[in-house]
Structure 1
């Protein structure tokens, strides 16, 4: 409910006549960050890429809602990671036979942490938002997958209520995955890491699948597509996101539980997290509307407009959050009864101040 109030506040602030709109009078703080920069231990030293994509400005609006589920189709997720505590659902497997455990869970945990590490909790780092993670294991004990396991994972994720689905696994063909994404297109968006071939992937090698959002990796300063290891590019690329020295949480293999990793495996969850944040602000948006917001607000890099290297551009979290706020219905002259009830349930006072009058509503 607090997310609804935060969105209403942000929507009021768009209007020129409104000087201020905020929670007040001793109420619980909103779920969005109180300060522009979070206090997470590693944030100031290692997470400049979040500043680059405008995360602090986005967090002024919302730090994400646990009601938004992000599915991670990977090797599994270690729910004991402190920065994910209480927000990892029981895992699902679409593989046949034994699945990965122990040290081999590492990759999936790292991907999940990029999306959903807690924000402003004084430890570790910050994810894109406080979302709930649904782990879906799509790899066997050899670390291999099949496109059919991935496709089944997409269907299972949507059936479990996931809005954003991230695949940081490569496979021989994405056709079955694209078909599954088409089947759930009215419920979820599917984000796929473009790969780390350090080369152009042709239409023949990687077709431009209509229902999959391929994410390439960028450098931390937007200079170029990541080529250190390096990012794939080509006609399939839809978006790009930072992919170099991304902070990850992984209590399974990292001595301090945190470390840096690079690759499009970590660009894709940034893009998926952006979609989840948009849904946190306005849960009534359709997947098509969220995709349009991400594409239209992305920071254009390289050639003007869409290009094979950056797609529609590098994820702009601040722009996407602002665009999401603009989709929240226009506020009426008086607060609706539903909003009054929501505020009353928290026993808060919600004050709107403008140049002409002061309106206070209280229970």
Structure 2
């Protein structure tokens, strides 16, 4: 209705132009907006005017996200164009709080301070880094006219800098006691301030939207200065971006960014025109609606891009024509699903958004501070795309950024530079290999099943969780060895590796505090990686059930748990799965049974986890802003390995009782490192022992030598002739030092070999974290230096069934890639 498709056909998309949205913020990760975020190209402080220093913009209500989408939104993967100037970039400031309860207490600058910041965002007056257009879909009382003292001089300065400043007229209807919002009612010039009314574009005419404020301004003046609004644009049920998706909204707040998007397109066509000249062109070329001539309902009428274009040409402005025949774009930079090895092979999707074919594209990629180039060649027709694969990348542990951009397209420098780049953060987690015996295990009637998982090397930071689904699901148990009742039907459980970290205030001893009742207060947190919120400590004053809720930035519940609390300090198990995201809230929905302790002092936001994946950023919702509410000593966990490993269980019909004892539960290795087990099972014919350290046995009454201190869960799976089994476990504590002074701990350096199980009754495994370039030769010697056996293999993991040897100590010599490593092996 405003003529945008005609401009797109000419190749104008807003490329290179900048929009500042002063509103409730913008959801910076929205698929229709994240590519256009100017913070991808400049420091966040120069494009996101927020005193808290957050690098990723957020939106406390969704209003600003909707406004930005109308001006320049484009979901590039879904090919969903919702904005006029979809190649323009945006800046933002969360300066508007009124009318949005979810914004109460959130940080942000004032609109006036943001106007002043916009004149020089980087603090360097020699750079032209200010926005081309500023959209203001907000306003205050229509009775305020403070132009001379505050806003008037500021708006004049913005106009003098060449910036087009646009305001929504307001949604006060045509009641006789109301008029245009402040500061849209300011009239220091013909297009200053430039206010926009709304029409209902769904009807012929189109008619003014009933909510759209009308003039005249209460700031005085005569003739055109007295008439408000300046122009009008569609504002009824405009579909645009909202946090989490898309929705239609109505208001002059939606009409204003229509005009802002039009101004961005005109600025691309006429880069030397000032903001005032562009607004005057839109004003003077508007299509008259309603009564003839300028009036206080529609202003000069509905904006029309082609008419404004012709108006500027008639004034002597020479248009710039973009080279639309070629436009290579990048997107969907991703790590392959299921990849968990530190050596990864990402892919990036190459799109042809131009009018002609693409034959060659050079893509620069940066990782770990090094820049290299991917070269693609072929024939990519307009509208098509192709996946371009990286070479294998060996990445260190932790968050690693990969950044890509197009260097040349068909041998020429790219013109459209907004969607010619992408970035991806890969969380690389190095963890031991996890193995399970998948079964199936048939469990006798009334018996117990034992779930067992083994690590390729000891790692105290890793935990093993058992789930009832390969992804997501319910957490059923924790530990390398778990005893569960026999299933009533065929059941599969899945073992996964997780790392746990602590987060938040450790307890309520720091600073003073008190109790508060209610559901409003919450802590806010970010998760840069999918998170399992395992446990928190709370201090209830009253006993009773509480509903713990994790909510997203729109207040929608994403996970919850009901817990019955005593009137005492309590460690609460929540096990809430939280997807990767920003601005989550952890709060209560307790139906008035609140009365939990919170800190009035001693808080020190943000609280950041050890590896930086998770952050408690602040609090909200309560009368005491910025205080630490309710939830202490968080235990958070995240997946640290490959896909979960399955173990299958099924019910049987036989009857067996597995039982055993040990000569002592506390083993002091300094005196006697050997544990002596006695089998007490009934009805069993075969036995499968696991000593909790990777060693196993099938002897009915085994002995086992422990060589490392620790707590071990020993399990026995006893099987009978009926084909079903029962299990039993017990706990051992091993202390002291192994008397022969031999350490089983293996080197942790990159490329070092790890030996397990050790001690071993038969087959051993050697493993390292990367494959070598040549063969691996292993030699086995006794303590007298006699060569007993050799093995040659390739790769990073090899198994070796040992020859028949008497129990005792042996040497392994491993040669690979010119390096030699000596290992000690205990044969049981």
- Does the TM-score normalized on the shorter chain lie above 0.5? yes
Cα distance in 2 for partners of 1:303, 1:69 equals 35
Cα distance in 2 for partners of 1:110, 1:165 equals 15
Structure with greater strand percent: 2
Q: Is 1:136 matched up with 2:85? A: no
Work out whether residues 215 and 267 of structure 1, in 8 Å CA contact, stay in contact via their aligned partners in 2.
yes
1:249: which partner in 2? 241
Q: Secondary structure at the match of 1:321?
A: helix
| Cα 1:120/1:95, change in 2 over 3 Å | closer
| Cα 1:170/1:204, change in 2 over 3 Å | closer
Q: Post-superposition shift, 1:272? A: 1.2
Q: Post-superposition shift, 1:330? A: 8.7
Structure 1 residues 123-167: Cα deviation after superposition (integer angstroms, max 9, x where no partner): 333311121111112135428999x92122222223241111111
| Cα 1:114/1:178, change in 2 over 3 Å | farther
Work out whether residues 172 and 179 of structure 2, in 8 Å CA contact, stay in contact via their aligned partners in 1.
no
2:428: which partner in 1? none
Q: Is 1:181 matched up with 2:130? A: no
Q: Is 1:234 matched up with 2:215? A: yes
Q: Is 1:329 matched up with 2:318? A: yes
| Cα 1:86/1:102, change in 2 over 3 Å | closer
Q: Secondary structure at the match of 2:209?
A: coil
Q: Secondary structure at the match of 1:92?
A: coil
Q: Is 1:110 matched up with 2:66? A: yes
Structure 1 residues 229-262: Cα deviation after superposition (integer angstroms, max 9, x where no partner): x111112311100000111112x2x5xx111110
Work out whether residues 297 and 319 of structure 1, in 8 Å CA contact, stay in contact via their aligned partners in 2.
yes
Cα distance in 2 for partners of 1:209, 1:190 equals 13
1:199: which partner in 2? 174
Cα distance in 2 for partners of 1:95, 1:197 equals 32
| Cα 1:97/1:103, change in 2 over 3 Å | closer
Q: Secondary structure at the match of 1:295?
A: helix
2:199: which partner in 1? 218
1:299: which partner in 2? 287
| Cα 1:80/1:216, change in 2 over 3 Å | same
1:317: which partner in 2? 305
2:139: which partner in 1? 170
Work out whether residues 298 and 316 of structure 1, in 8 Å CA contact, stay in contact via their aligned partners in 2.
yes
| Cα 1:195/1:285, change in 2 over 3 Å | same
1:48-197 correspondence runs (5 A): 52-89=1-38, 90=44, 91-93=47-49, 104-118=60-74, 122-129=78-85, 130-140=87-97, 141-142=103-104, 149-160=110-121, 161-172=130-141, 173=144, 175=147, 176-186=150-160, 187-197=162-172
Q: Post-superposition shift, 1:65? A: 2.9
Cα distance in 2 for partners of 1:94, 1:118 equals 25
Q: Post-superposition shift, 1:303? A: 2.2
Cα distance in 2 for partners of 1:124, 1:166 equals 22
Task: Tell me: higher relative CO, structure 1 or 2? Use CA pairs within 8 A at least 6 residues apart.
Answer: 1
Cα distance in 2 for partners of 1:204, 1:128 equals 25
Q: Secondary structure at the match of 2:215?
A: coil
Cα distance in 2 for partners of 1:81, 1:324 equals 35
Q: Secondary structure at the match of 1:190?
A: strand
| Cα 1:203/1:278, change in 2 over 3 Å | closer
Structure with greater helix percent: 1
Residue from 226, 242, 254 that aligns with 1:266: 254
| Cα 1:84/1:309, change in 2 over 3 Å | same
Cα distance in 1 for partners of 2:198, 2:107 equals 22
Q: Post-superposition shift, 1:282? A: 1.1
Cα distance in 1 for partners of 2:72, 2:80 equals 12
Cα distance in 2 for partners of 1:125, 1:330 equals 25
| Cα 1:267/1:209, change in 2 over 3 Å | farther
2:412: which partner in 1? 346
Q: TM-score, normalised by structure 1?
A: 0.67
1:24: which partner in 2? none
Q: Post-superposition shift, 1:78? A: 1.0
**Aligned residue pairs: how many?**
277
Q: TM-score, normalised by structure 2?
A: 0.31
Q: Post-superposition shift, 1:289? A: 1.4
Q: Post-superposition shift, 1:224? A: 1.3
| Cα 1:82/1:330, change in 2 over 3 Å | closer
Which structure 2 segments of 5+ residues have no match?
Answer: 39-43, 98-102, 122-129, 217-227, 321-409, 415-828
Q: Post-superposition shift, 1:288? A: 2.3
Work out whether residues 60 and 106 of structure 2, in 8 Å CA contact, stay in contact via their aligned partners in 1.
no
Structure with the greater alpha carbon radius of gyration: 2
